[in-house]
Structure 1
């Protein structure tokens, strides 16, 4: 793979990927809310789920599946509304969470696997992410070297790795802040309301998105 993609091109790709990962967006907001409300381990679990979703989109882009979704208005709409419905479900779940403060670290960091699955579903059910990788990854592939699908998968793996590192660092930082915030009496319900509000906004934005 080293012979297919030049080193300077790979460095530029990593720099561009890191910049895009840090920019405010649904994924980073999702990681922040889970880290603050459930702790750093939950944030890292969520980040791991989101990054697993990156592999799904990368493979889809390499195999041309994302292009088919883009060309099919019905497929795009189905995935889009499924993702929006899932986010609204998460908003409802956030409102259902106990209003009592969860202050102990072991209790806050349970359900990591459930949060991991949430991250996967949120990422996979966003057709905008699929189209992003379909447009972004091929720009850094060396067409003349051949084996473009393998190059795209390789680039997607690099993107996933740097995103996981950045999201994990954010999870540790946000989890530390969350530990301090959740010590304040009565703050638990406001955190849940905030999570519900963020999920609702992201869900409606996704539902209103276009190709």
Structure 2
């Protein structure tokens, strides 16, 4: 949520929407991993789970490095800040979500509770639940991107000569 708000505030509504789309793609990937049983295998292997956690930590260090490398000044009203591409915003959202190992734990614990024992197609039901969750999450994050980016849009209109 904070990533989407940050991108919307600093780069505009479109940036927040692209980031929210990437986050939702990350949820879809987690859904696929858990639905096809790879999530259980990853959780059972401490080494693989450790690598995923390490990748998440490395990604956070990468984000911190980029933040420290920038001068920290955001001058979006004058347009002097160079904006991220839509693809990089989308990828940023997806990678931040995929590398967050707690989501996989949540999916492994949460989704199976809604599937009856002995059901004929548990994979399809898990996919349906996970994709529904991803879509609903996107619908929740969309207004966050919109309302976080509105002040920037207002300031751009007010401060235009």
Is TM more than 0.5 here?
yes
Q: Is the counterpart of residue 149 in structure 1 residue 115 in structure 2?
A: no
Q: Is the counterpart of residue 129 in structure 1 residue 131 in structure 2?
A: no
User: SS of the residue aligned with 2:130?
Assistant: helix
Distance in 2 separating the partners of 1:177 and 1:140:
41
Q: Is the counterpart of residue 75 in structure 1 residue 66 in structure 2?
A: no
Check the 8 A contact 1:50/1:119 in 2, yes or no: yes
Aligned-pair CA distance for 1:125: 1.2
Distance in 2 separating the partners of 1:64 and 1:79:
16
**5+ residue gaps in structure 2?**
none
Q: Which of 22, 25, 30 is the matching residue for 1:52?
A: 25
Distance in 2 separating the partners of 1:142 and 1:103:
54
Corresponding residue for 1:43? Answer: 16
Distance in 2 separating the partners of 1:167 and 1:178:
18
Q: 1:76 to 1:182 in 2, by over 3 A?
A: farther
> What is the alpha-carbon root mean square deviation over aligned residues?
2.2
Q: Is the counterpart of residue 177 in structure 1 residue 130 in structure 2?
A: no
Aligned-pair CA distance for 1:77: 0.8
Distance in 2 separating the partners of 1:109 and 1:142:
48
Distance in 1 separating the partners of 2:116 and 2:47:
32
Check the 8 A contact 1:37/1:108 in 2, yes or no: no
Relative to the length of structure 2, the TM-score reads 0.86
Higher relative CO (Cα under 8 Å, sequence separation at least 6) belongs to 2
Corresponding residue for 1:166? Answer: 140
Q: Is the counterpart of residue 140 in structure 1 residue 100 in structure 2?
A: no
Q: How many residues align?
A: 155
Relative to the length of structure 1, the TM-score reads 0.67
**5+ residue gaps in structure 1?**
1-27, 184-211
Check the 8 A contact 1:51/1:160 in 2, yes or no: yes
Aligned-pair CA distance for 1:171: 0.2
Q: 1:103 to 1:81 in 2, by over 3 A?
A: same
Distance in 1 separating the partners of 2:76 and 2:152:
11
